[in-house]
Structure 1
Amino acid sequence: MSRKSIIITVVLLIGLGALYLLSDAPLPVDVTVAETGEVKAFIEERAKTSLPRIYRIAMPLNGRVLPITVEEDEKVSEGQIVASMDTSDLDAEVAKAQYRVEQFARKIVEQSDTRLEDNSLVQFDEFLKSMDLTVEAASKQQDASKAKWQYARDEFDRKYQLFKRSALSESELNEADLFKKQSEIDYQKDILTWRSLQAIQSAMQIGKISILKYKEKKELSTAVLQEEQKEAQSQLDQLLRDQKRATMRSPVDGTILTRNYSNERTLAAGDILLEIGRLQDLEVEVDVLSQYVGDIQIGSLVDIEGPAIGKQSVRGKVKRIYPKGFTKVSSLGVEQQRVKVIVSFDQSLWKQLKEQQRSLGTDYRVRVKIYTEIKQDVVKVSRSALFRNASGQWQAYVVRNNKAILTDVKTGVMNDFDAEIEKGIQSGERVIIAPSMNLQPGESVEPQVIREL
């Protein structure tokens, strides 16, 4: 092509472009239709399955463990033997300890004949009971005599006042005085009687103590033997406990999660042999940014999804929110303050997994959507149709009479996909998706409805 032909072609193209720009041809735009429906605000995070408790079977003491035959993913029942130790040396120690305890028992029987002292103590106890009742009766008699004396004294004082006013004869006054003195003497006699009985009671108690001291001296050798027997019994009990612990049983109906050893070997006390868990208690552990945790409540609905779950998501609920946060470094190296949240599975999980012939264990990766607010029957549009102006006001382009009308809107619940419109857009209106920066208010447009975003 000649240089002249190229120049002519360029000029023609520029002219056609200018003609198109100057014409009123409508601008093609993608639109979505505002509709009435449900809008959910949610927090989406990566998470993992976990168990609220893992039961660890550990070596109870230093020794040799026999081969462990149970394997990972094997079902075990509560009380089932899952591991055992070689107890040949322990069995011999138990037999020796049992013989020592029996020897001490025989010696104690020989040294513990205190029947005479026991009979004497029984007699003293019965006599002391009788003395206790006698002393108590004397004490009550003393209280009665005291009350009688106080009454006689008060009566004498009353009659003396009457005598002074010549309202009582002298003989009646003398009679009241005699009654007062007799009551006082009776009271003093009862005090002496009570104290005498107390002295007798104390003497009898001293006699009993003397017998007890004699018995204590006689039983000294028996007490020493008994203490030695207790020590021997304690050693035997410890050996029997070790013997019992050497047979390790499953504490629950569960599944073997981890088997650290399979062959016979010598291990130290505390080494973990097996981990057992109840997979039916599986839950989800998710670390949520602390600024969002305030929007989450116990019982908030959760959708759990991911390849580990299958094609369909499973519903769950927030079970627990930890009261303390922690710092976690993101994949981009940014320190973030997060809070651990525990989500419980809906029981339909196991039916769904069975239908899909899938299994689920602990520490499997999943994704969760924790719903913080759900609204029904509201006007909603695609989130991509909204934008903010310079002052922060939410706006959207609504197509009316094939023209792009810039409209201020008031939003409600929002997520990454949908937004609730409280004011500015009606259900059924067409809204431009991701409007161009060059789009002008009132400009003619050619809308093309997008069904799926």
Structure 2
Amino acid sequence: MKRSTALAFAGATLAALAALAWAFAPRPLEVETAAVAEGPFEATVDEDARTRLRDRYVVSAPLAGRLDRITLREGDAVTEGLVVATLTPALSPLLDERSLRELQARVEAARAGVERASARLESAKVAVLQAGNEARRSEELARQGFVAPTKLESDRLALLAAQKDQEAATAERHVALHEAEQARAALGAAQRGGGPAFPIKAPVAGRVLRVVQASEATVALGAPLLELGDTARMEVVTDLLTTEAVKLRPGQPVHIERWGGPGELQGRVRLVEPGGFTKVSALGVEEQRVRALIELTSPPEQWRSLGDGFRVGVRIVVQARPRALQVPLAAVFPRTDALGMAVFVVDGSRARLQPVEVAARSATHACVTQGPAAGTRVVIYPPAGLADGGRVRGRKI
């Protein structure tokens, strides 16, 4: 064989071998990458919620009689003491002993309601004084550096809650006095054997939520006529899993979103009810849930268009850090040795396995105390075939 032919054959063989090596060489995996960031971090409990009035009042008929047509409609504003309906007593010529005793018992119950409401109001005043003293004591100790700022903030929130409770107790006493007045008037009309038209007045200022009996009709004693409520005293209620509710404390901030208006509304946890209940999920799974009540802290002008029973979304902040290292949650996965979590860091064209310590999680990111530096790109949704040192070709998102 000629020398030139041998060289040509050897060159062709080497080219074929190189082509086969290239054809069967492992290709770099195409992956999506994202950068590790550093900044404010919030771990939240996300759930659907609804709005509701903190207090609603049902105006009922204090005696049996002929009801005139109610001209008020849903949404109309009323003031305390405004005549909302007129009732003409329809009493039999001979008032039997049982009916008389029922009206007398109603007067006694109304009087007891006034006493109970007065006692609650006095208790609320004492609670305000006690909370005020505790807040002032904490402020003095905080200036001297003997208490933590969180204790001072808790005492201030406790004072605010006590003041709100005193306002509610005052409103309850107004309602109790109004009911007692109506009960005494009904008993007097019955003992007189009928009389002129009896005006039914609004116990509180607010708006009409529902007119139960709009048309003229004969109504029985205690029949509901309409519902009233103060739309300026709105709150948000949500049903949380009990495993999530144990993380909540009164005063924790809440972001209210998906309410239909621009931006987010702000609120804070007012109360986590102590009793849970069983609820069946959409998948047919029984869940233990508990209600959390959220107080709106945004200006009323911002959420004036919200009404009773509107659907919203809430994000309750259970942990907040002003500066934290954040890794996309889709990049974090359990290590094969079950000793913690890890991520794949992009090092040039290679993916390097790096352990991380996760301190908290949000809906999109994980807060890590040990991990890659800020700005490092990590693989999100790492494919099953990716191993430490594997070749990758990243796509930024």
Q: TM-score, normalised by structure 1?
A: 0.59
Q: Spell out the pairing of 1:3-152 with structure 2 (5 A cutoff).
A: 22-23=24-25, 25-87=27-89
Q: Is 1:434 equivalent to 2:381 in the alignment?
A: yes
3-state SS, counterpart of residue 83 of structure 1: strand
Aligned match of 1:341: 292
Aligned match of 2:396: 449
Consecutive unaligned residues of structure 1, counting only runs of 5 or more, are 1-14, 94-233
Identical columns (%): 30
Native 8 Å contact 2:89 2:194 kept in 1: no
Using a 3 Å threshold, how does the CA distance of structure 1 residues 393 and 268 change in structure 2: closer, same or farther?
Answer: same
Q: Please report how far the alpha carbon of residue 256 of structure 1 lies from its aligned counterpart in structure 2 after TM superposition.
A: 0.3
Q: Is 1:361 equivalent to 2:307 in the alignment?
A: yes
Instruction: Report the structure, 1 or 2, having the larger helix content.
Output: 1
Q: Is 1:394 equivalent to 2:346 in the alignment?
A: no
Q: Please report how far the alpha carbon of residue 89 of structure 1 lies from its aligned counterpart in structure 2 after TM superposition.
A: 6.4
Using a 3 Å threshold, how does the CA distance of structure 1 residues 41 and 243 change in structure 2: closer, same or farther?
Answer: farther
Native 8 Å contact 1:35 1:428 kept in 2: yes
Using a 3 Å threshold, how does the CA distance of structure 1 residues 33 and 244 change in structure 2: closer, same or farther?
Answer: farther
Q: Which amino acid aligns with 2:85?
A: A
Q: Deviations over 1:35-64 (max 9, x none)?
A: 111221111111111122111101111111
Native 8 Å contact 1:65 1:84 kept in 2: yes
Instruction: Report the structure, 1 or 2, having the larger strand content.
Output: 2
Consecutive unaligned residues of structure 2, counting only runs of 5 or more, are 1-16, 96-185
Native 8 Å contact 1:58 1:274 kept in 2: yes
Q: 1:372 aligns with which of 305, 313, 318?
A: 318
Q: Please report how far the alpha carbon of residue 353 of structure 1 lies from its aligned counterpart in structure 2 after TM superposition.
A: 3.9
Using a 3 Å threshold, how does the CA distance of structure 1 residues 236 and 65 change in structure 2: closer, same or farther?
Answer: closer
Aligned residues: 290
Native 8 Å contact 1:60 1:242 kept in 2: no
Q: 1:351 aligns with which of 268, 286, 301?
A: 301
Q: Deviations over 1:128-155 (max 9, x none)?
A: xxxxxxxxxxxxxxxxxxxxxxxxxxxx
Q: 1:297 aligns with which of 242, 249, 263?
A: 249
Q: TM-score, normalised by structure 2?
A: 0.67
Aligned match of 1:382: 328
| Larger-gyration structure (1/2) | 1
Give, in whole Å, the separation in 1 of the partners of 2:253 and 2:19: 56
Q: Which amino acid aligns with 1:251?
A: P
Give, in whole Å, the separation in 2 of the partners of 1:241 and 1:52: 40
Using a 3 Å threshold, how does the CA distance of structure 1 residues 240 and 322 change in structure 2: closer, same or farther?
Answer: farther
Aligned match of 1:316: 267
Using a 3 Å threshold, how does the CA distance of structure 1 residues 310 and 235 change in structure 2: closer, same or farther?
Answer: closer
Q: Please report how far the alpha carbon of residue 369 of structure 1 lies from its aligned counterpart in structure 2 after TM superposition.
A: 1.0
3-state SS, counterpart of residue 232 of structure 2: helix
Q: Which amino acid aligns with 1:68?
A: I
